[in-house]
Amino acid sequence: MIFFKIKNTEKPSIFLNCYLLIINKLKMKNFALIAILSLLLSCGQEFAKIKVTDEKSKIIEKIFEEVSAENTEYLEEVFSDKMKMVNPKEIEFNKSSFILGIKDMYDLFDNITFESSDGDADGSEIETNYYSNGKVWTSIWNNFSATGKYTGQEINIPFHISYQWEGNKIIEEFQFFDMTAFENEATARNAKNNTSQKISFLIEMRINKGKKLNEIKSFLSELTSLMRKNEPEGYDYGYYISGDGKKVTLTEKYLTSEAAIKHADNFEGGPNMKTFLEMFTLESFIITGNSTEQLKDRLKAWTPIYRTPIGGWSH
């Protein structure tokens, strides 16, 4: 992921914009001179001041020093009890969940480091914007470097985070970066500790006589659209046909047993199960992962075979 910083603090660019606005205005009939003068005066007003060595910028710098040292006490101090954090997937967390997330990061990675910031607008930086309406935001552009405790992989991830202040406390945090490395490390940890909640279906089916491939493809396209729309926790859903065109393998993956149960409810309670069973005959149904008893009870009518993990990992 690449992040761009746009700093517009030079006066010539402000007056150039104003000049262009004035030229456009002059093309209008009956344009009064006083309007031109008012526009010029408004262009000279400052809407925000940018500082890089102020107290708030230094606080953000210290936050990342403390994170490198795997401490959370300072974060507890500077983040408001009312704070909210929004991660790159737009999921919102309160302060308690945010601090737990930081501690979880310490469990995932060793040797956490960040680049130094020197305020020269070249490379990693921290800057605070003081707006004329009283709002204050501090932003950081930097790189997260670490070694995964479970994968052993060394990573270097560019990131951007913005913080809104309420007095001397941070009230909001918005994060922008690629979360893939964090997700991969969490997956490796779950595999090692056998704590993954993910569930997979592997279903072998025979195409029933008289069913044409174009008819099957059209029907499966409808099912796929419904899955994407209604089941966001079903993250893998694919049909694979044999070389002789007689059999199909269906793979489904869910984040949790609860998500798999929801799929069963939607499938059995929806309008497509009858057509599905007219097209296919199930020959085997294998469920992999740490299935809950609720899932086993819900699917017992389908007589699946269960497999629990003993090694490797699952995405």
Q: Which residues of the chain have pLDDT under 70?
A: 1-46, 315
Torsion of CA 201, 206, 209, 215, to 10 degrees: 40
CATH class for the domain made up of 50-193 = alpha beta
3-state secondary structure of 55: helix
In CATH, which of 3.30.70.100, 3.40.50.300, 3.40.309.10, 3.40.50.720 is domain 199-307?
Answer: 3.30.70.100
* Predicted local distance difference test score (pLDDT) of residue 120: 73
Assess contact for 310 and 232: CB atoms under 8 A. Answer: no
| Phi/psi at 144 (5° precision) | -95, 115
169-176 and 79-86: which strand pairing?
parallel
Rounded Cα–Cα distance for residues 194 and 171 (Å): 37
* Predicted local distance difference test score (pLDDT) of residue 46: 66
3-state secondary structure of 66: helix
What's the angle, vertex CA 252, arms to CA 248 and CA 255, rounded to 5? 175
Q: CB-hemisphere CA count at 13 Å for 310?
A: 2
Assess contact for 115 and 157: CB atoms under 8 A. Answer: no
* Predicted local distance difference test score (pLDDT) of residue 313: 76
* Predicted local distance difference test score (pLDDT) of residue 25: 47
Rounded Cα–Cα distance for residues 238 and 227 (Å): 11
- The secondary structure element, H or E, covering residue 78 is helix 73-78
Question: For the chain, what are the domain ranges?
Answer: 11-45, 50-193, 199-307
* Predicted local distance difference test score (pLDDT) of residue 31: 45
* Predicted local distance difference test score (pLDDT) of residue 117: 85
Tokens of 131: 């707006």
* Predicted local distance difference test score (pLDDT) of residue 314: 73
pLDDT for 220-249, tens place per residue? 999 999 999 999 999 999 999 999 999 999
